[in-house]
Every structure is written in structure tokens, then in C-alpha cells.
Amino acid sequence: MNYEVLSGFVLATAALAFAPGPDNIYVLMQSIANGKKYGLATVAGLISGCLVHTTLLAFGVSEIIKQSDSLFFAIKLFGALYLFYLAYQVFKSDSDISLKNGSVPKKGLWQLFEQGFIMNVLNPKVAIFFFAFFPGFLFSDSISTVVQFYTLGLLFMLVSFIIFSLIAILAGSISDYIKKNSKIGFYLKWLQIFVFIGIAVYILLSDK
């Protein structure tokens, strides 16, 4: 088992979870508007949806890996190109983090959990990201690929849950900090770009 690969995966996941995106901004807004427990309910739903994507990835890609080295290389190439594309999309985007949303509707805890779950499961971008991100971080020659994908999926869920929960709990302080520090969006934007490019290069250079 290669613990360096797992450590790199955890660090990359943490950086991506921390950088502003639709999911953590949504969690932040729910917490600011309705309270911490509503933000945490949203987090629980979003993270639970990742289990569906992990399962589809584990049983789908594992078979491809078993069948053909060339197909696995094609997956890696697709993954790297997709991550380069994400880096380019972030580069083109505005670095400002907008928290201007005066009408966040209040929903029950279960409704927010359900909405977070559905948002994640039905988002094709999440499925494509998992497909691009995970195969480059397989960490063992002896453990089955299904088990490895589930291990990566659970690590991804754990790290994202911790960071998203901190965002929900510290929502007031985070929003105040963002409003007072106009350059924070610029720094987080470039963090995302470097992480996407770094993962893409790593995937291209990694072995099966």
C-alpha cells in the first residue's frame, strides 16, 4: 500500500473542498441565513450523494482496468485533460466570491438533506470529476480496485465532510472575513488552478 499516494489524495481533496465552489457556497449561505444545523444538514446530503458516484465508479472502471491497459491509459488521459479544462475554466472565471443572496428559502432539516443529496447525485459534473480524479490515485497492487475506489471515496467523503462542516459552523466568521478581505477570492482561485493542474500532471505520470 502506497501511503504517499493516499496522503496526496487527501491533500488534494482538502484543497478542492476548501476552494469556493457551488457546494460549499451553498452550505455557507444556508448556515448564514438559517443557522448552523441547517448548513450541516445540507453537508450531510451533499456528502451522502458521493457514495452513489463512488459505487458507480468502483464497479464500472474496475472492470475496464482489468480488461485493458490501453483503456486504462485512455481513462487517465481523459482525466488529465478534463482537469486541465477545469483549471482553464477557473482561470477564466471571476475571482470575486459573491455572498449577496437575500432570499435563501428556509427548509426543514430533512428537506435540506434530501436537496443536498439530489443536487450531488444528479450532477453529471460530479460523476465526471470522480471518473477523472480517482483512477490516478490507486494505491496498491494487491488490493482489489473495487476496495481501493471505495477507500478513496470514503476518504473523499470524510475530508469533504470535515471541511464543509467547519464552513457551516464558522459561517459567520468566514463570511465576515471574505467581506473584509477582497483578495481572498483571488488567492483561492489560483489555489484551485494549481491543484487541478498538479493533479492532472500527477495522473499523467502515474503508473497503473
* Rounded distance between C-alpha atoms, residue 129 and residue 118, angstroms: 17
pTM for the full predicted model = 0.85
* Rounded distance between C-alpha atoms, residue 131 and residue 75, angstroms: 8
| Inside any domain, residue 167 | yes
Comparing 78-92, 139-153, 178-192, the range with the smallest average pLDDT is 178-192
| Inside any domain, residue 104 | no
| Inside any domain, residue 160 | yes
Residue 71's domain spans which residues? 3-98+123-205
∠ at Cα 119 (114, 122), nearest 5°? 115
Number of domain units in the chain: 1
Q: Write out pLDDT tens, residues 130-168.
A: 998 998 898 888 899 899 999 999 999 999 999 999 999
User: What pLDDT score does 207 carry?
Assistant: 66
* Rounded distance between C-alpha atoms, residue 173 and residue 176, angstroms: 5
